[in-house]
Structure 1
Amino acid sequence: MTTGLILFAHGARDPRWAGPFEAVAAQVRARAPAAAVRLAYLEFMAPTLPEAGAELAAAGCTEVAVLPLFLGAGGHVRKDLPLLMDGLRSAHPGVQFTLHPAVGEIDSVVAAMAGVALQVMAPGGPAR
Structure 2
Amino acid sequence: MTAPAPARRRGPRPAPAAGPALLVIAHGSRDPRHAATVHALTRTVAALRPGLRVETAYLDFNAPSVPNALAALHASGVREVVALPLLLTRAFHAKADIPAALAEATSRLPGLDVRVADVLGPSPLLTAALERRLREAGLTPADRATTGVVLASAGSTDPEAIAVIAEIAREWRLTGWCAVRPAFASASLPRTEDAVRALRAEGVRRVAVAPYVLAPGRLPDRIAAGAEAAGADVLADVLGPAPEVARLLLTRYDAARAAGLAPPALTA
Q: What's the TM-score once normalised by structure 2's chain length?
A: 0.42
* Aligned position for 1:103: 120
The one of 110, 118, 129 aligned to 1:113? 129
What runs of 5+ residues in structure 1 fail to find an aligned partner? none
Q: Is 1:122 the counterpart of 2:140 in the alignment?
A: yes
Contact 1:2 1:62 in 2 (8 A): no
**Residue type matched to 1:122 in 2?**
T
Secondary structure, aligned partner of 2:54: strand
In structure 1, C-alpha distance between the alignment counterparts of 2:124 and 2:78, rounded to whole Å: 27
* Aligned position for 1:37: 54
Structure 1 stretches of 4+ with a deviation exceeding 3 A read none
Q: 1:19 to 1:109 in 2, by over 3 A?
A: farther
More helix by share: 1
Q: What's the TM-score once normalised by structure 1's chain length?
A: 0.83
Contact 1:72 1:103 in 2 (8 A): yes
Please report the RMSD computed on the Cα atoms of aligned residues, expressed in angstroms: 2.6
1:52-85 deviations in Å (ceiling 9; x for gaps): 1111111111110111111112111111111112
What runs of 5+ residues in structure 2 fail to find an aligned partner? 1-17, 142-233, 237-241, 243-268
Contact 1:70 1:104 in 2 (8 A): yes
TM-superposed deviation, 1:118: 5.8
Contact 1:69 1:104 in 2 (8 A): no
Structure with higher Rg: it is: 2
In structure 2, C-alpha distance between the alignment counterparts of 1:58 and 1:108, rounded to whole Å: 37
In structure 1, C-alpha distance between the alignment counterparts of 2:28 and 2:53, rounded to whole Å: 21
Q: Percent identical across equivalent pairs?
A: 34
Secondary structure, aligned partner of 1:103: coil
In structure 2, C-alpha distance between the alignment counterparts of 1:86 and 1:44, rounded to whole Å: 20
The one of 69, 72, 83 aligned to 2:89? 72
